[in-house]
Amino acid sequence: MMSAQEKPSAGQPDLGPLFVVGMWRSGTSLFYALLNQHPQIALLYEGDLPLLWPLFLGRRAKMDWPERWQFWNSAPSRHRLDLDKLPRDVSGLREACEIAWKQHAGAAIGGCKSPNYFDMLPSLAAQFPNARFIVIWRNPVEICRSVVRAARNDSFFARRGMILRTLRGCHDLKTGVENLRTRQVLVHEIQYETLVDDPAEVMAGVCSFLNLPLHAGMTTLEHADRSAIYDGAHHEMVKSEGIKATKNKKKIAGEVLSERVLRKIDRYIASWHERYEKKSPATPGNARLSGSGWFLLEEFFDQILYRMFRTFDHAVAFIYCFAPLWLLRRYRAGKARPEAAVLPKENLVGASVKD
């Protein structure tokens, strides 16, 4: 049931941007494609401008912030934004985002859908006090399975420690949601499995949260605009015409995740169920949960390694914000980008403690 803090009052004016957040491979792209069919909603697809916050340090933004944003992930061109109409002398990140969202959305609800905000919810809420958040959850086993499968053809998912990044990222997302609720920020949570099984019910709840009437097109992908979504085999399903659930989930999970990885995921889920009284995460059909007397030690070392990975990620963004663009372009042009090979499971996992 929706709490009072989740639902705006009837007739309430625009509350500000809308953020859709979930872990990688948790169904955020599917949800975006359905949500954006509402005529009063026009979110960016992984615009990710808040990730480039160093561009707006101090009292003046870097004058080439639109070009650097374009170079980062092509978000302006993917959404047909006119770089010449993005002012260079913005006062900070908030103004830059609001101008970009307004240019894209017009009078509709603007904002951004991105899994890359999974550990940024409190900072986003502080930067955008009138923001609303929709968070999508998925069974962590299925998220990790999908990450490993995506690593076969996408170098982003082939990075070292992606299973560890995913598990610790789920934890960061959960603590971020708790932080929002403590601060009475408007937040609505949905479950991917329910979205696939009954999109009409989920989208009706979302529209109620946003104080909008349900639009019939929001329950099907038939006429969805997916032009801003990256090409790639891992987006094949969201670019299809139907909403499909993965068949034989247990069998497929075993085919792409080793027993060692499955045990690690189980230990994390068992810990979360103990911490959150079995209410989070929702794990349909998962009967193999088991704890470990060594888990606290495993979690301690995992956290250290995870923070190292995240520090590296932030350092890369910092470099993209300040290195000369000509140098970045030369680096990217000279960097070979072959199709990502499947990494050994150990490269995707990170630290582990034996049972």
Kindly state the helix (H) or strand (E) to which residue 134 belongs, with its residue range. Answer: strand 132-137
- For residue 256, give every residue at least 6 positions away whose Cβ sits within 8 Å of its Cβ, in sequence order, or none: 145, 148, 149
Q: What is the DSSP letter of 20?
A: E
Compute the average pLDDT of residues 72-99: 95
Q: Is the pLDDT reported for residue 305 higher than 80?
A: yes
CA distance 340 to 233: 12
Confidence at 221, pLDDT banded by 50, 70, 90:
confident
Q: Is 258 exposed, middle or buried (0-12, 13-18, 19+ CB in 10 A)?
A: middle
The percentage of the chain sitting over the pLDDT mark of 90, rounded to a whole number, equals 66
**Residue 319: is its pLDDT beyond 90?**
yes
pLDDT value at residue 304: 97
User: What average pLDDT is seen over the chain?
Assistant: 85
Asked if pLDDT for residue 11 goes beyond 50, the answer is no
Work out the pLDDT band at 286, boundaries 50, 70, 90: low
Confidence (pLDDT) at 241: 59
Strand ranges in 6-69 using DSSP code E only, listed in sequence order: 18-22, 44-45
Report all structural domains of the chain as residue ranges with CATH numbers, in order of start.
Answer: 4-333 (3.40.50.300)
| pLDDT exceeds 80 at position 249 | no
User: pLDDT-based confidence at 273, cuts 50/70/90?
Assistant: confident
Q: Which residues fall within 8 angstroms of residue 42, CB to CB, at 6 or more apart?
A: 36, 104, 105, 106, 108, 109, 110
Res 183: pLDDT = 96
Residue that wins the pLDDT comparison between 233 and 317: 317
Question: Distance from first CA to last CA of the chain, Å, rounded?
Answer: 39
What would the pLDDT profile of 191-213 be if each residue is shown by its tens digit? 999 999 999 999 999 999 999 99
Highest mean pLDDT among 4-8, 76-80, 336-340: 76-80
CA distances for 264 relative to 152, 172, 218, 258, angstroms: 21, 17, 37, 10
The span from the CA of 176 to the CA of 162, in Å, is: 20
Strands (DSSP E) found in 138-224: 186-191
Tokens of 196: 């696939």
Crossing angle of helices 325-334/65-73, nearest 10°?
Answer: 10
Check pLDDT > 80 for residue 250.
no
Task: Judge whether residue 5 has pLDDT over 60.
Answer: no
| 123-172 per-position pLDDT tens digit | 999 999 999 999 999 999 999 999 999 998 888 999 999 999 999 999 99
Is pLDDT above 80 for 244? no
Confidence of residue 224 (pLDDT cuts 50, 70, 90): confident
Per-position b or e across 233-253, b if 16+ CB within 10 A of its CB: ebbebbeeeebeeeeebeeeb
Query: Which pLDDT tens digit goes with each residue over 159-199?
Result: 999 999 999 999 999 999 999 999 999 999 999 999 999 99
pLDDT single digits (tens) 326-352: 999 999 888 754 443 444 444 566 544
Q: What are phi and psi of 235, to 5 degrees?
A: -105, 15
DSSP β-bridge partners for residue 44: 112
At residue 233 the predicted structure's pLDDT band, cuts being 50, 70 and 90, is low
* Model pLDDT, residue 239: 55
Reported pTM: 0.87
Question: Angle at which helices 28-35 and 199-210 pack, to 10 degrees?
Answer: 70
Euclidean distance between CA atoms 71 and 330, whole angstroms: 12
pLDDT recorded at residue 289 = 61
Condensed to tens digits (0 to 9), the pLDDT of residues 14-68 reads 578 999 999 999 999 999 999 999 999 999 999 999 999 999 998 788 999 999 9
